[in-house]
Amino acid sequence: MAADELAYVDAVGQADLVRSGTCTPADLVEGAAARIRRLNPLLNALVHESLERAMEEAQRTALPDGPLRGVPFAFKDVLGQTAGDPYHAGMRLLQQRRWTAQHDSYLAADLRRAGLVFVGRTNVPELAGSVTTEPLAYGPTRNPWSTGHSAGGSSGGSAAAVAAGLVPAAHGNDMGGSIRLPASQCGLVGLKPSRGRTSTGPDFNDYWSGSTHEGVLTRSVRDTAAFLDVMAVPHPGDYFVAPPPSASFSALMAREPGRLRIGLRTDLPGSGRPAHPDHVRAAESVARLLEDMGHRLEAAWPGALDEPEVETLQYQLIGVAFARELDRWGEVLGMPVTADDVEPNTWRFAEMGRPLSAAAYVEVQEKVQAHGRRLSSWWTEGYDLLITPTTSDPPPAIGLLAPLAVQPPRLSRDLTAFLRPWNITGQPAISLPMAWGETGLPVGVQLVAAYGREDLLLQVAHQLEQASPWRDMRPPGLD
């Protein structure tokens, strides 16, 4: 099979080709490498390539015989450390020091055992702190659907790599929308799992005050289920462990969900501003489609979404996380990290967090957690899912939200308004590529379920994928 034909076969499909003997792991890696060499200079999705080593691993008979054996895969360059590989987190400071990871994260080790072949690490904004991937260290990642636009953040490099067919799936993590936002902007499936479903160990437990969720970006719902089966493994010391599913997520995905009660909201939490018309139409179209399938739709949502102070509280916690990150890297490198070592927004976040005393930090956590309980209680009132647009607006132009730009008021916060609440509650939420706007750019629709109910999200996502398939949609001009 030609490399460009393989490029849009999903990860499960590629693993099936290896299992049947139609392709070898080396065939898959060779195809991915050829496409990376051709397209990555245009997109800047991968910032560290390990193609020669990947080919050596693919040719080894000792490659683990896991469910995804031989499939090329890329890691986001924040968390997901892979032993001996560069780890820069979008920071010029680490780039200049040529810092490398000392060990695999638990997640990386799980994915190695599944038989994946790691081909490189993807671009990120500095310390995952932006809704666009345009770090000063490595420059902007470009959206494969329109190279003048952002691929989103902070998993923008991973999203661009998957959307362009460089790899069939890539690692991402979601602290405030960082899987779902780039999935929406690049036309992909992006699941933020439940808190505790995947591990951030061994280095961290409650990274960013418990708001961080490890996952992947894919082109199909079955890929998302298959990766979740691999990643949903408790590890020693994990603070949070989500309740185990009754069967594999791949098996649960194929089951009928029954008749569901589903809420719909299309104006921005907190402000009440309507989302962009393309995004409203996409969410309403999904609602009608689910209603046609027999589900019950209502204009309903958790009232706590509009509580006014939570946004400020959430950003205070982010500020503390950034302050700790800079202090931690200072300890690791044996030098203080100063304002000259990082981007202006990174330093601004850290300075926002430093004045909080320990007691004030705990108070903010308590208030945010109480807000989360009020949010999640809506699902105890008989509701199964909530539908929203994934983002408020289309992907911004490259440069609009860049580190040194004068940024439009509130755009960054508005882009994540539908996303951040579920990092507080730890509930699973998925973005699906259900529409393309008038400009030809993808538009995602988000589904949110109760804690631990990834099975329900996957079942409904599978229904939508069958009713309105997106897998043949490809960015123009890349083949």
Mapped onto helix, strand or coil, the DSSP state of residue 432 is strand
Instruction: Write down the catalytic residue from 50, 150, 178, 431.
Output: 178
346 vs 91: CA distance, rounded Å: 10
> Token match 């994915």: residue?
111
247 vs 298: CA distance, rounded Å: 30
HSE toward the beta carbon, residue 132, CA cutoff 13 A: 28
Give how far Cα 31 sits from Cα of 14, 23, 60, 76, 167, Å: 11, 11, 17, 21, 9
Give how far Cα 198 sits from Cα of 168, 194, 203, 220, 275, Å: 20, 8, 14, 20, 31
Give the angle 334-337-338 at the CA atoms, nearest 5°: 145
Contacts of 439 (CB under 8 A, 6+ apart): 146, 394
Give the angle 342-345-351 at the CA atoms, nearest 5°: 85
253 touches 222 (CB < 8 A): yes
Instruction: Write down the catalytic residue from 154, 209, 220, 250.
Output: 154
* Phi, psi of 326, rounded to the nearest 5 degrees: -70, -40
The secondary element (H helix, E strand) that includes residue 46 is: strand 46-49
Instruction: Write down the catalytic residue from 76, 105, 155, 376.
Output: 76
Helices 11-20 and 25-43, interaxial angle, to 10°? Answer: 150
Q: Is 89 left (phi over 0), alpha (psi -120 to 50) or beta?
A: left
Residue 129, classified by CB atoms within 10 Å of its CB into exposed (0-12), middle (13-18) or buried (19+), is buried
104 vs 82: CA distance, rounded Å: 4
The dihedral of CA 80, 237, 372, 223: what is its sign? Answer: positive
- Specify whether 178 is catalytic: yes
475 vs 449: CA distance, rounded Å: 30
Give how far Cα 405 sits from Cα of 243, 353, 399, Å: 44, 22, 7
158 touches 172 (CB < 8 A): yes
Beta partners for residue 297, in sequence order: 262
Beta partners for residue 170, in sequence order: 74, 217
| Residue burial 205-227, b: 16+ Cβ < 10 Å; e: rest | eebbbbbbbbbbbbbbbbbbbbb
- List the catalytic residues: 76, 154, 178
